[in-house]
Amino acid sequence: MKYAFFLGCTIPARSRNYELSARKVAERLGIELVDVPEFMCCGFPVRAGDQPAAELMAAYNLCLAKERDLPLLTLCSSCASALTETAHRLSEDGSLRDEVNSRLAKVGLEYRGRVKVRHLARVLFEDIPAGRIRDRFQKSLSGLSIAVHYGCHYLKPSKIYDGFDGVEAPESIDRLVALTGARVVDYPEKKRCCGGPILPVDEKVALSVARNKLEDIARAGADAMCLVCPFCSVMYDGNQKSIEAEYDAVYHLPVLYLTQILGMAMGFSRKELGLNMNVVKTKKLLAPYFE
């Protein structure tokens, strides 16, 4: 199992904890990640203003994976959706493909065949038997209650994702977390967006969207949140303090990446999983699991 590893923009600069823990977990499960230093932005951030530019960027990245004859693996849900959607559109729309190729020719590339794009969580859910993941575990996380946040682009738009998980009642990440022995806590509006994409437009609205979910999770009594996207982490982990200040609330809710949770069960250390880089402190909550 070998993939071109697409880091995107946010992860290598701002979410090294996600990258670290993902590399550890992937290695432990025998998933080989090939670094491609030439990758650029997936195109998602420019889609709102300039969709053709976004598609050109996505196509460029898809070509680099194709050159190596590898499927592409992402950790960020927005990268997964931008790249998957462009791969779809390029397969369906010949005139778009011609247009993109005329621009790619300037850098000596041509988009030819479909490139498979996968989010790591989807690979763990779909392609690796649960028993094999469990076999790699060294400790149980029982006693920990975790609220899973799916975010939007991991699953949507559903037309590009071959129905690998349900949009209205998703379960892929819940099942992976449950393998560790942790309790998965349900809460209202589980599918609600983090608000991240509108942060550069209207910070107040974005933070109030994120706050709604933090309120619901706090009420449901979860110890921590589980995420699979660095944008969502910016909202819930990076901005949790600002939300607490703005709304005079106290959450102190640790926000963990799925790979940090799986990595804990696999016996990696706090440092190996980058837990020291999480903004909301995790030490007290997770101390019993690192003894």
CB of 26 or CB of 144, closer to another protein: 26
CB of 199 or CB of 264, closer to another protein: 199
Q: Exactly one of 170, 196, 238, 263 binds another protein (CB under 8 A); which one?
A: 196
Phi, psi of 259 (to 5 degrees): -70, -25
- Minimum distance from CB of 118 to another protein (Å)? 19
Instruction: Please name the residue ranges forming H helices in 9-167.
Output: 10-14, 16-28, 44-47, 51-67, 77-92, 94-104, 120-126, 130-135
Q: Exactly one of 164, 212, 267, 290 binds another protein (CB under 8 A); which one?
A: 212
Q: Exactly one of 123, 192, 242, 267 binds another protein (CB under 8 A); which one?
A: 192
Site for another protein in 213-272 (CB under 8 A): none
Which of left, alpha, beta for 221 (phi over 0: left; psi -120 to 50: alpha)?
left
H/E segment holding residue 119 = strand 117-119
- Minimum distance from CB of 179 to another protein (Å)? 26
Count the site residues for another protein by CB under 8 A.
55
CB-side exposure of 225: number of CA atoms within 13 Å?
A: 32
Nearest CA among 87, 95, 251 for reference residue 162: 87
3-state secondary structure of 202: coil
Q: Per CB under 8 A, which region of 30-38, 126-134, 178-186, 281-289 contacts another protein? A: 30-38
- Minimum distance from CB of 7 to another protein (Å)? 8
- Minimum distance from CB of 102 to another protein (Å)? 12
> CA–CA separation, 72 vs 51, rounded Å?
21
- Minimum distance from CB of 22 to another protein (Å)? 11
CB of 25 or CB of 133, closer to another protein: 25
Contacts of 105 (CB under 8 A, 6+ apart): none
Contacts of 26 (CB under 8 A, 6+ apart): 32, 33, 120
- Minimum distance from CB of 131 to another protein (Å)? 30
- Please identify which residue in the block is written with the tokens 């090939």: 34
- Minimum distance from CB of 125 to another protein (Å)? 20
Q: Exactly one of 29, 76, 152, 185 binds another protein (CB under 8 A); which one?
A: 152
The reply to whether omega before 37 is within 30° of 0 (cis) is no
CB of 142 or CB of 158, closer to another protein: 158
Site string for another protein, 33-62 (x = CB under 8 A): --x-xx-xx---xxxxxxx-x--xx--x--
> Exposure of 85 by Cβ count < 10 A (0-12 exposed, 13-18 middle, 19+ buried)?
buried
Q: Exactly one of 69, 94, 95, 107 binds another protein (CB under 8 A); which one?
A: 107
Phi, psi of 220 (to 5 degrees): -75, -10
Residues of this chain that interact with another protein (CB under 8 A) are: 7, 9-10, 12-14, 16, 19-20, 23, 35, 37-38, 40-41, 45-51, 53, 56-57, 60, 103-104, 106-107, 152-153, 156-158, 167-168, 191-193, 195-202, 205-206, 208-209, 212, 274, 277
